[in-house]
Amino acid sequence: MNRKNTTLGEFIIENQASFQYSSGELSKLINAIRLAAKVVNHEVNKAGLVDIIGEAGDTNIQGEDQQKLDVLANEKFIQTLKNREIVCGIASEEEDDFISVNSNDNQNQNKYVVLIDPLDGSSNIDVNVSVGTIFSIYRRVTPIGTPVQLEDFLQPGRNQIAAGYVVYGTSTMLVYTTGDGVNGFTLNPALGTFYLSHPQMQFPETGRIYSLNEGNYVHFPQGVKNYIKYCQQEEGDRPYTSRYIGSLVSDFHRNMIKGGIYIYPKSSVAAEGKLRLLYECNPMAFIAEQANGKASNGYSSIMDVVPTALHQRVPFFCGSRKMVEKAEEFMAVQE
């Protein structure tokens, strides 16, 4: 059932039977993420009023300066997922290693692992620009009843059973898929309830927006440079419009609604790209494919990449299908 004004809780219950693992555990897991997102949203909306903006004084495993809200969001999501006792492991972009979670009543019996970027685009907090949360869910591959292992997290994107994001913007939205389309829910802050506002979201087949940091142009591969020139040429429906927020969730969300492509390629200063395969690219790729879009490393599907490390980075091209395919054409010529 996809009627508007349906709450997220009602939607999960009504659509649970369409999910191939309809044991109720995944529903509880999505509900846990919903709860944590509401807590983080509350904290994001207090930025500037209390001491939660600015750097925390530490760096994460990526070597990036952690913002105070990075730390807070990471703690809230991990705490909420642990408390619900429905996952056997959690991997976060902010943590050096994965976290093994044992249920007090049913040790190691849980089937799911969650990979999460607790606060995507957190450097934008200080200037009041939209940020988000990205999550990805897999069934473990090691035997139930044993401690979770690294291989449970190093799965290709094709193995995802659910993925989604929360965008904390002019309104707060939770968008997710379980492999049966993409649906978006908007938070009513007065009631603290998410309502179905964007049923069966779809990327337009093509668009007129390209999103990348053109300040890094001189470092880009020639294929990307040539694609940018193509976007800027006056021909047909071109030139395209350049729009780059610097928060993957926000750029992706805009392009899914309006039509566009997001690019974060490898470069001479970032040989493997910057975005993380497991926390950012795979979940967004799953959502894109479920919404008639496409996600690529410039040559082939992101979802087919077999991960080799928890914090692996990859180039990322994602958005309207025809735009991604055109970018791949330019990359292939320069291979």
- 29 known ligand binder: no
First-to-last C-alpha distance (Å) of the chain: 46
Helices (H) and strands (E) in the chain, counts: 7, 15
- 244 known ligand binder: yes
pLDDT bracket for residue 25 (50, 70, 90): confident
- 272 known ligand binder: no
Half-sphere exposure in the Cβ direction for 207 (13 Å, CA): 29
pLDDT bracket for residue 16 (50, 70, 90): confident
Q: Do strands 65-67 and 87-92 pair parallel, antiparallel, or not at all (unpaired)?
A: unpaired
Token look-up 């395969």 returns 277
Distance CA 111, CA 101 (A): 11
Least confident of 34-43, 209-218, 274-283: 34-43
Residue 52 or residue 315, greater confidence: 315
Classify residue 185 by burial, with Cβ atoms within 10 Å: 0-12, 13-18, 19+: buried
Mean pLDDT of 222-248: 96
- 122 known ligand binder: yes
- 237 known ligand binder: no
> Under a CB-based contact definition with an 8 Å cutoff, are residues 115 and 89 in contact?
no
Q: pLDDT at residue 242 above 70?
A: yes
Mean pLDDT of 306-320: 97
pLDDT at site 19: 63
pLDDT bracket for residue 14 (50, 70, 90): confident
Distance CA 293, CA 11 (A): 23
Classify residue 17 as left (phi > 0), alpha (psi -120 to 50) or beta: alpha
pLDDT at site 34: 93
Q: pLDDT at residue 269 above 80?
A: yes
pTM exceeds 0.85 for this model: yes
Q: Which two tokens stand for residue 297?
A: 């490393």
> Under a CB-based contact definition with an 8 Å cutoff, are residues 251 and 245 in contact?
yes
Distance CA 149, CA 29 (A): 20
pLDDT at site 225: 97
CATH number for region 209-333: 3.40.190.80
pLDDT at site 127: 77
Q: pLDDT at residue 298 above 50?
A: yes
Q: Which stretches does DSSP call E strand in the chain?
A: 55-59, 65-67, 87-92, 99-100, 112-120, 131-139, 162-168, 172-177, 182-188, 193-198, 209-211, 241-242, 260-264, 293-296, 316-320
Q: pLDDT at residue 234 above 90?
A: yes
- The greatest distance separating any two alpha carbons of the chain, rounded to the nearest whole angstrom, comes to 64
User: Domain 8-198 falls in which CATH fold?
Assistant: Fructose-1,6-Bisphosphatase; Chain A, domain 1 (3.30.540)
Q: pLDDT at residue 244 above 80?
A: yes
As a 3-state breakdown, the chain gives helix, strand, coil percent values, each rounded to 5, of: 35, 25, 40
Q: pLDDT at residue 104 above 60?
A: no
Calculate the average pLDDT of the chain.
89
Least confident of 53-62, 115-124, 300-309, 315-324: 53-62
CA 178 to chain centre: 14
| Sheet strands side by side (includes 193-198) | 99-100, 87-92, 112-120, 131-139, 162-168, 172-177, 182-188, 193-198
| Domain spans, the chain | 8-198, 209-333
pLDDT in tens, 127-175: 778 899 999 999 999 998 889 999 999 999 999 999 999 999 889 999 9
pLDDT at site 52: 46
Residue 46 or residue 72, greater confidence: 72
pLDDT in tens, 47-82: 554 444 445 445 555 555 566 788 889 999 999 999
Q: Which two tokens stand for residue 58?
A: 């530490």
- 121 known ligand binder: yes
Q: pLDDT at residue 241 above 80?
A: yes
pLDDT at site 4: 66
